[in-house]
Structure 1
């Protein structure tokens, strides 16, 4: 077997492989003889079909099977011989396939980048810390009460926080526009659900009244036809309701599965949950920051095949998230561009983490694996059952070990970097570091 390798661009390699005709012919003849012993043909006894007849009848198909197997075997032998590390499968192109002559093909593929990790000691990291104060706890309890709140109609004028039920229709330049009409539409004033000015204009309305409001669509509104346009909405107010928060009593506490139905026990449970949320949020922000700095410090080429594979994963996850596992939606119908940047980041992090792990001979520490499992299991009714399930499931246990290895890499890099502690509020700690752009306001009833 003769092998030559050419670098076509970046990480892409073009490998030419030539396989001696003798090997091909030998494998083909051997396969034909095996077939002759097992094939059944009319006019011949089993095992007595002449090799010539078998070759005439099945020779072409047998040769194709042999060539496919030869390509598979020789490709992996060739990359080992040339000390190449393919990232993804190759694209095979047969260049010469003539019976009695050497077989030749080319394989185009990408290789993993060679990574020389940069010094991390000059990197600056802000490690955020936060504490939960009584005001944070009170606000969370108010949020939980609002989630369980009921609504009661009132005769007074609507104020911020009230819910208004209405019919409305919007007009631009005197013409009704698509998506601007709704009936029995419930809107909580101050929720920011509608375009700027819409909710403010409804403060002071009362049930049974008709009114018109004038607003202007944002310049960045989702519908290009409405961007920056002044609009008039004709509104019929059907009812005004105020929110009624539940009392902090046994009935309310019972909805949270508490063993002890007291305010003290409830506040303790809420605080414990907040502490877990805070710890996880701070940990994820710190990890994300370390990974971002790791990417900044190490510029690497990323194999396109790995990015494409990650995009496929994210597409499937998106379909499952919004349509469920039984969704009939084709993941490939989602635009590739939606996932490209995140996919490239994830692949880059994965490659760099592997290099850090390899360079420092890291292995998941058993004690940290156990600690991680216990933290995950503590929110379940029977924590030990959850731990036992993970410990008996090799695939799931390996996922936990992967998370632990990530944490060990973060600890290692933090030990090398310049770390500054920064105290922030609970709210700042748990909100996304880089919040997604707010959804465009809509006036459609379905939204």
Structure 2
């Protein structure tokens, strides 16, 4: 029987569902009989409750369940017969009048859109390349040395320098009043490593043991402490101890202490290079992928199903609440979060998902088993026991699906760059690893 699909607006459709009354009644009777064999009621032995009593007690709820099941089955059958790709859940309501022998329903729903992707050959997309040079390896070696540094107390006449560990007492006041978290004794931090606000580090730098200083400190507007954010405090700081850092020499002994198999400086640098090249590859892929997806959206024409957008908004809102919960915010579920603030991001995600899916379908860009295996093995290579990490991925369908999604996106990136005009650009290692710092330096 042909399904009559009515187009309402853009992606919205309507169909009528006819559910036979005798099919509903038959299924209700079957379920009530099954229930009667196990139901327990006062005054009756198990399995001996009369059907009339079971029907009186449970008839309405069973009827409701059966009706839902029958309507859902009828909708799925109609959608499949009409070859409709349904987006989200349908809104189903019973019609005021029904065909004789049937209960009629109307189902209003959305379908996934037709995605039109224009010619990609005139797209210009920046494709970055990064080389892991000796300077990058040197910086990594320095980081490893800092992680193993020791400290020795400076002389009383030695001034605080970057890299020193200082121990201070401090107290801050705003308009003469103390505030929570504004006072500490015997507080230690490393100067020049961003552990304290810049004004605090600038004030302490150059001081000597026993010296005190009063200075103003303006808290940023986005400071994590809401009580002081955007306000200026007057701080009194006293330096109690200054310790200079001693970094280990770059020797074979250092390499051995870091677990380098070769146990040599050359082996250490080789291991660092391999790890950095792996990290650089992943970051370059991510950056180029973002450039491709941004460009791809300019070539796509499609309507967005509201059901998909609402589902994505709900996921984003849930993620935001979970993040607040992890930060220790109380009563997160009762906190008002306007859903509309997630709409732009949700619309972009839905649009990208539909465009990428169409590109994958039309050009057979699905992840091949060997691609997926190679990707997971590459992810696992940086761990002490790679084979266990590989097994960890393959033991969970969700983790495997996440890895597969990355491979598919990489396939899409490669495909689009082959079709478009790729503008190759070599950037520095630091710019790739710390893009915000590079932008700040340029400004």
TM-score range, shorter chain: 0.7 to 0.9
Partner of 1:348 in structure 2? Answer: 351
What is the aligned length?
A: 435
Q: Counterparts of 1:322 and 1:255 in 2: how far apart (Å)?
A: 40
Cα displacement (A) at 1:435: 9.5
Which of these residues, 266, 269, 279, is aligned with residue 267 of structure 1?
269
8 Å contact from structure 2 (residues 325, 332) kept in 1: no
Asked if structure 2 preserves the Cα contact closer than 8 Å seen for 1:137 and 1:270, the reply is yes
1:67 and 1:388, CA in 2 relative to 1: closer, same or farther beyond 3 A? closer
Distance in 1 between residues matched to 2:355 and 2:11, nearest whole Å: 16
Mark the CA change 1:195 to 1:358 in structure 2 (over 3 Å): closer, same or farther. same
Q: Which moved more, 1:274-283 or 1:340-349?
A: 340-349
- In 1, distance between residues paired with 2:259 and 2:324? 29
Q: Return closer, same or farther for 1:333/1:276 CA change in 2, 3 Å cut-off.
A: farther
Task: Please say if residues 149 and 246 of structure 1, whose CA atoms lie closer than 8 Å, have aligned partners that are also in contact.
Answer: yes
- CA contact under 8 A between 2:127 and 2:423: conserved in structure 1? yes
Match of 2:210 in 1: 208
For each residue in 1:169-219, what CA deviation from the matched residue of structure 2 results, as whole angstroms up to 9, or x when unmatched? Answer: 222333334443333333333334444433212222112222211244446
Deviation at 1:240, TM superposition (A): 1.8
TM-score by length of 2: 0.80
Question: Counterpart in 2 of 1:442?
Answer: none
Which deviates more, 340-349 or 401-410? 340-349
Q: Which runs of 5+ in 2 are unaligned?
A: none
Q: SS of the residue aligned with 2:298? A: helix
Q: Tell me the CA shift for residue 382 of structure 1.
A: 5.1
> How many Å apart are 1:272 and its aligned residue?
1.4
Deviation readout 1:128-163 (Å, 9 max, x if unpaired): 112122222212211221122223322311123323
Question: Would the alpha carbon gap of residues 32 and 270 (structure 1) be closer, same or farther in structure 2, given more than 3 Å must change?
Answer: closer
Work out the CA distance in 2 between the residues paired with 1:211 and 1:434: 30
1: distance between equivalents of 2:230 and 2:125?
Answer: 42
Give unmatched runs, 5+ long, in structure 1.
Answer: 438-447
Q: Determine the structure 1 residue equivalent to 2:72.
A: 72
- Preserved contact between residue 4 and residue 17 of structure 1 (Cα < 8 Å): no
2:415: which partner in 1? 412
Query: Is 2:401 the counterpart of 1:372?
Result: no
Provide the residue aligned with 2:126 in structure 1.
Answer: 126
User: In the superposition, relative to structure 1, how do residues 188 and 247 fare at CA in structure 2: closer, same or farther (>3 Å)?
Assistant: same
Q: What is the distance in 2 between the residues matched to 1:220 and 1:242?
A: 33
Which SS does the other structure have where 2:116 is aligned? coil
Match of 2:244 among 242, 260, 267: 242
Where in structure 2 are the equivalents of 1:430-441 lying within 5 Å? 430-432=433-435
Cα-Cα RMSD: 4.2
* Alignment check: 8 A CA contact 1:8 1:14 kept: yes
Aligned to 1:158: 160
Distance 1:96 1:353 in 2: 43
**Distance in 2 (alpha carbons) for counterparts of 1:35 and 1:283:** 58
1:388-399 residue pairs with structure 2 within 5 A?
397=400, 399=402
